[in-house]
Amino acid sequence: MSPTTPTSPALRPRPLGSTGPEVSAIGLGCMGMSALYGEADRGESIATIHAALDAGITLLDTGDFYAMGHNEMLIGEALRTAPAAHREKALTSVKFGALRDPDGGWSSYDGRPAAVKNFAAYSLQRLGVDHIDVYRIARVDPGVPIEETVGAIAELVEKGHVRHIGLSEVGADTIRRAAATAPISDLQIEYSLISRGIEEAILPVTRELGIGITAYGVLSRGLISGHFGRDRKLAANDFRGMSPRFQGENLQHNLDLVESLRKIAEQKGASVAQVAIAWVLSRGDDIVPLVGARRRDRLTEALGALDISLDSADLAAIEEAIPAGAAAGDRYPEAQMTHLDSER
Ligand SMILES: NC(=O)c1ccc[n+]([C@@H]2O[C@H](COP(=O)([O-])OP(=O)(O)OC[C@H]3O[C@@H](n4cnc5c(N)ncnc54)[C@H](OP(=O)(O)O)[C@@H]3O)[C@@H](O)[C@H]2O)c1
């Protein structure tokens, strides 16, 4: 047992949607260990994955395009070097479809059935596993009906290469079309105190259809973690350097919201990040936050959210401090917003 990671009974696996696998109450999002948030330390990344598995986290989320396979190879190494008992419980959730170029650029998305099978073949190899637990296209390919993309994953399920089919950043109509094609375990989508767009039209549909939510950006990429300051220097390729929420007056406005959350956190004897994660956990057992910890100290902090209970007075105070729609700035740069089926 690692000295830094407490095992919490609250992590105990629960079903992800009505057809998905049993997963821990919190999943680990591994993206930042390879891409989008500046440099990461490889040894610390692997130690963080090991500590997460040790603590009882079973769900590891990645994308084949996070540093062009780097993130999958990192997870592959972490799984190979983990104790067998932890490795056997680990579940991989993999996104595919984003097309990259050698300079690190992003172009479009490919959801053609032949491409789906090609992406999966490479992911299985890089992860060093004989199946992927949940497989999903990161963004809908506008040139390919979702039925064809999901149908191709369903064929991979039939052959045993994939166990479950997920979705990512899609809206209500696409969810219904996908679910009419094959069983869908979960929708992966941004959800946090400052990104509440799913509440009106998307969450009612996932709940009606028995589809779980794996929520990303629960700390809004660090913005509402309580650790992000105006003076933070970002690497040239850091996503946050381009994100509207991290720019100029928007950033100041959003950090002011964090300060009002900090007051509530202090009264609870908790950190800002813990209250932000606990708030997402409080929204329902069908919602599994993916925390983007890439260091063991951040992971320990995130796991502490499981020990916080927010009563109705706490929830009302949080709602008053950060009402829905309070954030300044879109959650993605304009060009990337156009890829979000969930925002149509
Ligand atoms: N489906 C999609 O479209 C999509 C999009 C984005 C992400 N994802 C998935 O969702 C996962 C989580 O997303 P995210 O990384 O944006 O989530 P996040 O948890 O909102 O943000 C992670 C960032 O928060 C900071 N942080 C500060 N305190 C933390 C704490 N106690 N625990 C964790 N992080 C803390 C970390 O910064 P420092 O490391 O600098 O401390 C890290 O850069 C990703 O890894 C990826 O697998 C999916």
H or E element that contains 284: none
- Of 216, 261, 280, which is best to mutate to test ligand 1, by the most ligand atoms within 8 angstroms of its C-beta? 216
pLDDT in tens, 217-235: 999 999 999 999 999 999 9
Say how far apart CA 311 and CA 303 lie, in whole Å.
19
The position carrying tokens 């994308």 is 63
Query: What pLDDT, on a 0 to 100 scale, did the predictor assign at position 6?
Result: 46
Closest C-alpha among 101, 186, 74, 70 to residue 136: 186
- Of 219, 246, 337, which is best to mutate to test ligand 1, by the most ligand atoms within 8 angstroms of its C-beta? 219
Query: What pLDDT, on a 0 to 100 scale, did the predictor assign at position 13?
Result: 87
Query: What pLDDT, on a 0 to 100 scale, did the predictor assign at position 12?
Result: 83
Domain boundaries, the chain: 10-343
Q: Residue 165 in 3-state DSSP?
A: strand
Contact 228, 255 (CB under 8 A): yes
Ligand 1 centroid–CA 242 distance in Å is: 16
List, for the chain, all residue ranges whose pLDDT scores fall below the cut of 70.
1-8
Say how far apart CA 157 and CA 134 lie, in whole Å.
10
Say how far apart CA 227 and CA 222 lie, in whole Å.
7
Classify domain 10-343 at the CATH superfamily level.
Answer: NADP-dependent oxidoreductase domain (3.20.20.100)
- pTM passes above 0.85: yes
> DSSP of 71-116, one letter per residue?
HHHHHHHHHHHS-HHHHHH-EEEEEE-EEE-TTS-EEEE---HHHH
Closest C-alpha among 342, 1, 4, 2 to residue 173: 342
Say how far apart CA 53 and CA 45 lie, in whole Å.
13
Give the position, in ligand 1's atom list, of the atom nearest the Cα of 300: 31
Q: Which residue has the least CA distance to atom 29 on ligand 1?
A: 298
